[in-house]
């Protein structure tokens, strides 16, 4: 069964959601990250997707205190992304309590460094982040499009076993994910666990992804907008 992974995106310690990756089109929420994390844990969630949007635009992670708070006060496995652009930053993310680290910009722009991380930390700890815009990989907080496809990255990093693939055009839009993209990728690369990211609008989307053989899905804005409730997640996980 597909695993639901709630997302918490952070700017200046607050929960936010962007539309199509645009920092100027953001919605801030009153919920505190730790409170949200605890509520997800109570609903039976095992893994949390935590994104440091300040870090994604900066030279390194900016919300490590929030990461540490959630890591020390819940039992959630945390996959952390945003600003991991050096080995020191990567080590800090693990030191502050992340279970997994997501690297996108480094993989695309400094492949030798990502190779080193895969070797040093293992593919069970490293997640390749592939953020796509018009089929091309986007980096640096989604502001820069590169002449790379997700297939280019997969072929370059053969040891990788976990990939979060985000269709930026769908992210935060609540219009459904790119079903065919994910079905195609999972079908062609069976040994890789792909995580669907972007566009989830209802439990019907998740049910369809489950039927099509996807293994993980990130849900963000649909929860904040009450299109998917914690009860929905709890019931789905209990089946």
Active site residues: 9, 131
Q: CA angle, 233 as apex, 23 and 210 as ends, to 5°?
A: 90
Cα distance from N-terminal residue to C-terminal residue, the chain: 9
Q: How many CA atoms lie within 13 A of 120 on its CB side?
A: 12
Cα separation, 32 vs 15, in Å, equals 7
Whether 82 and 56 have beta carbons less than 8 Å apart is answered as yes
Neighbours of 134 (CB within 10 A): 9
The DSSP bridge partners found for residue 81 are 51, 102
Helix H or strand E encompassing 113 = helix 111-121
């Amino acid at each position: 069964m597909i695993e639901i992974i709630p997302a918490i995106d952070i700017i200046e310690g607050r929960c936010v959601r962007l539309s199509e990756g645009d920092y100027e089109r953001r919605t801030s929420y009153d919920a505190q990250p730790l409170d949200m994390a605890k509520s997800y844990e109570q609903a039976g969630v095992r893994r949390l997707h935590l994104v440091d949007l300040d870090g994604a635009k900066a030279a390194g992670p900016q919300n490590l205190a929030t990461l540490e708070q959630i890591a020390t006060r819940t039992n959630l496995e945390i996959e952390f992304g945003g600003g991991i652009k050096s080995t020191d930053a990567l080590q800090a993310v693990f030191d502050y309590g992340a279970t997994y680290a997501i690297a996108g910009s480094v993989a695309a722009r400094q492949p030798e460094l990502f190779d080193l991380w895969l070797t040093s930390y293992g593919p069970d700890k490293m997640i390749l982040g592939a953020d796509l815009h018009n089929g091309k990989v986007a980096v640096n907080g989604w502001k820069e499009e590169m002449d790379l496809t997700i297939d280019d990255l997969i072929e370059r990093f053969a040891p990788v076993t976990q990939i979060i693939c985000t269709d930026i055009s769908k992210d935060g839009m609540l219009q459904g994910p790119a079903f065919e993209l994910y079905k195609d990728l999972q079908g062609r690369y069976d040994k890789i666990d792909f995580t669907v990211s972007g566009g989830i609008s209802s439990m019907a989307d998740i049910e369809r992804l489950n039927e099509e053989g996807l293994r993980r899905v990130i849900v963000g804005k649909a929860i904040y907008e009450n299109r998917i409730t914690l009860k929905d997640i709890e019931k789905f996980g209990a089946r």
